[in-house]
Amino acid sequence: MKKLSKTTKNNLITYGMVILAYIIVQLLVSTGHVSSLVQGLLVPFCTYVIVAVALNLTVGILGELSLGHAGFMCVGAFSSAVFSLAFKEALPSGLRFFLALLIGAAAAALIGFLVGIPVLRLKGDYLAIVTLAFGEIIKNIINALYLGVDSNGLHFTMKDALSLNMEEDGMVLIKGAQGVTGTPNDSNFTIGVILILVTLFIVLNFINSRTGRAVMSIRDNRIAAESVGINVTKYKLIAFTVSASLAGVAGVLYAHNLSTLNALPKNFGYNMSIMILVFVVLGGIGNIRGSIIAAVLLTLLPEVLRGLSDYRMLIYSIVLIAMMIFNWSPNAIFFRKRLGQRFVGSKRAKKEA
């Protein structure tokens, strides 16, 4: 007889929760209980969940604050959108999206690796601010970039479409601030949920492996980790690269849900990075399941409150503050524990103590 360990059980609950949510949403959609507005939000939900889980790997497991994850998302989105656009006719949609995913993840991983080399030498606040700067640099470069393809290969410039100097048959893929237009709409809610499950599989298995333990040991005590022979730089870079690459996956999903992709401050700027960080902090640093729930709730909330028009963002902020206090204030934690004990009974409380 094999008893499931506590972590395995916890992980299975997380997977189960996602699958259950998927089934419920599908049922609601098929019975017509979901407004078209919310239906349009289903893929963005998946995007935010994936990127929140990815960021939690950096913030919760590696223990470093990154404010640049929107930048990695941006890299994943644009590299994959360009690929899909260029091979729009040449490849069947399934294969094309699969390859786009790999390209988006690899591109984001590469940029994550390159950014990680200097950034991971810093600590805490300094690291956060430098990642913020890198995120903005990535967004702004892509915003100014023109990329085209013709029989001679790829051309790029930062000036305008004409200075690409392409042949007659050339096609402009990225039109500077106008972004990428005509990306095939390859993603849908089902694919999004599958990608969430894949992300969870990668992140949860990563955490519960030799590599994950090495990363967490660095988070808990760098000097002790070094003293038992852990290569600090290597494991920090591995965790950061995996995290960036998964943010890239979220970007791929995002890009293939829109016909026009721009690198706006709204979707890839630091507002976005901070929003993702809010998901992670609210859901619990290092708590993967919490990130998922927080990402869904906080994306849904503004839509639910839409009827209140002008007061919407005010209420959103108040709810945010209230939830933070409820989740993290020591008094609130104590109150929750007492409440929990009264409901569940003293037996379980004893076990937890």
Partner 1 sequence: MALLEVKNLGISFGGLRAVNAFDITIEKGQLYGLIGPNGAGKTTIFNLLTGVYQPDEGAVILDGVNITGKKTIDICKAGIARTFQNIRLFGDMPVLDNVKVGLHNHHSYSTLEGILRLPRYYKVEKEMNEKAMELLKVFGLEEFAEYKAENLPYGQQRKLEIARAMATAPKLLLLDEPAAGMNPNETKELMDTIQFVRDHFDMTILLIEHDMKLVSGICEKLTVLNFGEILAQGVTQEVLNNPEVITAYLGS
Q: Does 214 bind partner 1 (CB under 8 A)?
A: yes
Helix segments in 87-209, DSSP class H = 93-119, 124-144, 189-207
We find the least distance from the C-beta atom of residue 208 to partner 1, in angstroms, to be: 8
When binding is defined by CB under 8 A, the residue of 6, 266, 347, 350 that contacts partner 1 is 6
Q: Contact with partner 1 (CB under 8 A): which of 8, 35, 221, 317?
A: 221
According to CB under 8 A, which one of 212, 251, 269, 290 is a site residue for partner 1? 212
Residue 231 makes contact with partner 1 by CB under 8 A: yes
Site for partner 1 in 187-206 (CB under 8 A): 201-202, 205-206
Q: Which of 173, 225, 293, 294 binds partner 1 (CB under 8 A)?
A: 225
Rounded (10°) CA dihedral 243, 244, 246, 250: 130
Distance of alpha carbon 147 from alpha carbon 173, whole angstroms: 5
Classify 22 as helix, strand or coil. Answer: helix
Neighbouring CB atoms inside 10 A of 20's CB total 10
Q: With binding defined as CB under 8 A, does residue 8 bind partner 1?
A: no
Amino acid letter for position 321: I
Residue 351 interacts with partner 1 (CB under 8 A): yes or no: no
**Number of residues engaging partner 1 in binding (CB under 8 A):** 27
Please, which residues have CB within 8 angstroms of residue 246's CB and are 6 or more apart in sequence?
50, 51, 53, 54, 57, 105, 199, 202, 203
Q: Are 276 and 70 in contact (CB under 8 A)?
A: yes
Q: Name the minimum Å distance from CB 244 to partner 1.
A: 15
Contact pattern for partner 1 over residues 246 through 285, marking x by CB under 8 A: ----------------------------------------
- For position 223 contacting partner 1 by CB under 8 A, the verdict is yes
Helix, strand, or coil (residue 90): coil
| Tokens 């499950």, located at residue | 197
In the complex, the smallest distance separating the C-beta of residue 248 from partner 1, rounded to whole angstroms, is: 16
Of 27 and 194, CB closest to partner 1: 194
Beta carbons of 77 and 268 less than 8 angstroms apart: yes
Interactions with partner 1, residue window 43-62 (CB under 8 A): none
Please provide the DSSP assignment of 259-282 as one string: SEE---HHHHSHHHHHHHHHHHHH
- Applying CB under 8 A, among 140, 157, 217, 341 the residue interacting with partner 1 is 217
Rounded to a whole number of angstroms, the minimum distance from the CB of residue 91 to partner 1 is 26
Q: Where are the beta strands (DSSP E) in 168-318?
A: 171-175, 180-181, 260-261
Angstrom distance (rounded) from CA 318 to CA 268: 25
Interacting residues toward partner 1 by CB under 8 A: 6, 201-202, 205-206, 209-214, 216-217, 219-221, 223-231, 238, 286
